[in-house]
Amino acid sequence: MSTLIAFLVALAILIAVHEWGHFWVARRCGVKVLRFSLGFGPVLFSRRDKQGTEFSLSAIPLGGYVRFVDQRDPDYDAADEAVSYNRRPVWQRMAIVSAGPLANFILAILLYAVINLQGVSTFSPIAGQPYPDSFLAQQGLQPGDLIVAIDHQPVEDWRELSLNLANRLGTSGELHIAWLDAQGQRQEAVKPLDRWLSRERDPDPMQVIGLRTWNQAPPAVLGELVEGGAAQQAGLQQGDQIISFAQQPVDDWGHLLGLMSNNEQSNVELQVMRQGLIWPYQLELQPSDGRLLMGAQLQVPQAILDSRQMASVGTVEAVQLAVSDTLELISLSLRFIVRMVSGNLSVQNLSGPVTIAQLAGESASYGWISFLSFLAFISISLGIVNLLPLPVLDGGHLVLLAAEGIRGRPMSERFEQAYAFLGTVLLLALMSFAIINDFFRLFS
């Protein structure tokens, strides 16, 4: 239930902001708005403002729309010609259409700014024990070495490192990695790439090259427990060390996650060490806890906390960082889309509503900062998806308006119908892929 509530709250915020962008710019351009709707289908609630706009909440919450006065509408009233959408200049109509995605990007900036005002937290990219037989293990990377550059670009924390590696997904050429060893000497390794991980579902470039964060495998000690989660309901406590899961010994936290990811039982036996004594427990796993975390967070060892850097920032710097983060994610997302279209990244990486709902629930369970970060990322994704040049989406309308601006007149009705048909087929195909991927993730 908490997952569903988090999903609906996230969806309502994102849709409302997107449609408000269209609405606000349309009003500024002198277009009369007939309806502002959250959701589709039967209207559950509505009210009308002084300017005649009906604000409504509809039964199907998977979207929304803003309906303008338009001469092509069967119910068009000739008295509204001066406030009709299609009577506005092309640039104004393009501004109205673009305002929805732009509002999503602005929301992401505001959310990231709020997060940044709580303090900017970074972790130095100190390497842990590389995965056995991995590329970096073969290159001699040692625990405690400091990663300093990816593809000759300096990296100062794990976030920058992860983004730089993600940027190479689906590409060819050479991946350059540089680090400082225990003596402070710079070491470098070069990995040849050929459409790197292009056929992988949800690829993990760090794991593929063998890179683990410093002390990534601490003891499986529980940190904060999620309220009402499986761990709390079983009677586990913060500070408990899991030493056995489903009758299999647990070496460390990473090993526990591996055992849980391969577990197909909903009810498992645990052995826990508490104050030197071993206690048996029965754990009833819950889908809302996430497949791996069982409703508990990792208790982070002090060695890792020592590598954490926390900086307070002012309002201006918080906004600047938020703008930079948003633009960086927009750029990375667009590159991923181009690589999917070109076949250099698998369409298995598309996510649909099921995955988004799961992520909404999991992020909300770990606090409002986590939920706001999730909301910002999804808002960026929604803005980008709506700019795809497909009918029904804002990007499809922008394509037709751009063509009208170049030609000096609208495209023919026949062309628009053919374009709409082709685009709808492509959109349905994308949605189908995303939903199929969701179910593969759910049951894999």
The answer for 85, left when phi > 0, alpha when psi is -120 to 50, beta otherwise, is alpha
Q: Is 417 among the domain residues? A: yes
If asked whether residues 144 and 169 sit together in one domain, one would say yes
The residue from 209, 233, 255 where one domain ends is: 209
- My answer on whether 112 and 157 are in the same domain is no
Q: What is the pLDDT along the chain (444 residues), one digit of tens a residue?
A: 567 788 888 889 999 999 999 999 999 999 999 999 998 889 899 999 999 899 999 988 878 999 999 877 767 777 778 889 988 999 999 999 999 999 999 999 999 999 999 877 777 888 888 888 899 999 999 888 889 999 999 998 888 899 999 999 999 999 999 999 878 899 999 999 999 988 887 888 998 999 987 655 567 888 888 777 888 888 888 888 888 888 888 877 777 877 776 777 778 888 988 888 888 988 887 655 444 457 777 776 555 555 566 667 889 999 999 999 999 999 999 999 888 888 888 777 777 676 676 667 666 666 788 889 999 999 999 999 999 988 889 999 999 999 999 998 888 888 888 888 888 888 888 888 778 877 776 666
If asked whether residues 230 and 337 sit together in one domain, one would say no
* Pair 11, 30: CB distance under 8 Å: no
- Which residues are CB-contacts of 190 (< 8 A; sequence separation ≥ 6)? 174, 175, 176, 177
> What is the rounded distance in angstroms from the CA atom of residue 63 to the CA atom of residue 61?
6
Residue 324: count of CB within 10 angstroms of its CB: 12
Domain identity same for 244 and 339: no
For residue 13, being part of any structural domain is answered with: no
73 found inside a domain: no
**Could you confirm whether 19 is annotated as catalytic?**
yes
Q: Are residues 322 and 438 in the same domain?
A: yes
Query: Does residue 92 form part of some domain?
Result: no
Quick one: 334 and 438 in the same domain? Answer: yes
Please compute Rg for the chain using Cα positions: 25
Residues 6 or more apart in contact with residue 140 via CB below 8 angstroms: 187
Compute the residue count for the chain.
444
What CATH number corresponds to the domain at position 264? 2.30.42.10
Question: Does 6 reside within a domain?
Answer: no
In-domain check, residue 400: yes
Residues 155, 267 share a domain:
no
Dist. CA 351–CA 345, nearest whole Å: 14
Domain match, 322 and 441 both:
yes
Q: Which domain holds residue 430?
A: 97-119+312-444
Query: Which of the residues 19, 224, 362, 416 is marked catalytic?
Result: 19
421 belongs to a structural domain: yes
C-alpha torsion 325→329→332→338, nearest 10: -150
Residue 285 and residue 185 share a domain: no
The domain boundary residue, chosen from 179, 209, 239: 209
Cα separation values, 13 from 34, 81, 142, 372, Å: 21, 33, 46, 11
Question: Has residue 358 been placed in a domain?
Answer: yes
Q: Are 116 and 321 in contact (CB under 8 A)?
A: yes
In terms of domains, do 113 and 196 share one? no
Asked whether residue 420 falls in the same domain as residue 353, the answer is yes
Total-model pTM: 0.75
Position 291 scores a pLDDT of 42
Residues 318 and 399 in one domain: yes
Contact (Cβ atoms closer than 8 angstroms) between residue 71 and residue 86: yes
Q: How many domains does the chain have?
A: 3
Q: How far is CA 256 from CA 252, 294, 333, in A?
A: 6, 11, 32
Last residue of a domain, one of 276, 298, 320: 298
